Amino acid sequence: MVKEITVRDINSQIFVKAYATHLKNSGKMTSPKYVDRRMTSVKKYSINENDLYYIKAASIARHFYLRSNVGIGSLYKSYGGSSRHSIHSTSSLSYNPTTDSGNTIRKIIENLEVMGILEKDYYGGRRLSQKGRKSLDSEAIQIFQENGYKQ
């Protein structure tokens, strides 16, 4: 019996990069112009990645695949970081969690909803639609067939 390949079976980094390329090449998702300046919020150094918006969108789509009924507030926390407000980086007081840019996440979710990948849930939050699940699974199958990558 052959096991069906899903997103869970593919390495997350490989899947996110491949799905980000798929989102960019589809032409249905457009990144805002400000995105190259605002995506790194509390980071000390900027990230040298041209497709950071699409990578984050693919990561959020994968996040919805793995967890059902996700709210925007939980995404702010998941994609946030930590800022350093203390002189001593080894002290327990130096960890200060921060949230991610809400505007960027909202724009990504709006784009994914327009594409039909996400839909609003009856109980609140959003969830992956049937079309979105098929899209993510077909990308996972394509990655597996091309490269044979598994965890």
- In tens, the pLDDT along 14-32 reads 999 999 999 999 888 887 7
Fold observed for domain 7-40+50-147 = Arc Repressor Mutant, subunit A (1.10.10)
Is a pLDDT exceeding 60 seen at residue 133? yes
* Across 131-149, average pLDDT: 88
Quickly state the pLDDT bin for 36 (edges 50, 70, 90). low
Which of 70-74, 95-99, 137-141 has the highest mean predicted lDDT (pLDDT)?
A: 137-141
Is the whole-model pTM more than 0.75? Answer: yes
Mean pLDDT of the chain: 78
Report the run of H or E that residue 134 belongs to, with start and end.
Answer: helix 130-147
Spatial CA neighbour of 73 closest among 122, 109, 113, 28: 109
Buried b (16+ CB within 10 A) or exposed e, 114-125: ebebbeeeeeeb
Quickly state the pLDDT bin for 69 (edges 50, 70, 90). confident
Is a pLDDT exceeding 80 seen at residue 97? no
Those residues whose C-beta lies under 8 Å from the C-beta of residue 39, and which sit 6 or more positions away, are 47, 52, 53, 56, 101, 104
Those residues whose C-beta lies under 8 Å from the C-beta of residue 44, and which sit 6 or more positions away, are none
Spatial CA neighbour of 119 closest among 79, 68, 81, 82: 68
Quickly state the pLDDT bin for 1 (edges 50, 70, 90). very low
DSSP track, 35-74: HHHHTTTT-SS----TTHHHHHHHHHHHHHHHSSSB-HHH
Is a pLDDT exceeding 50 seen at residue 127? yes
Is a pLDDT exceeding 60 seen at residue 88? no
Bridge-based pairing state of the strands 96-98 and 81-83 = antiparallel
- What was the pLDDT predicted at 71? 78
| Between 49 and 143, residue with greater pLDDT | 143
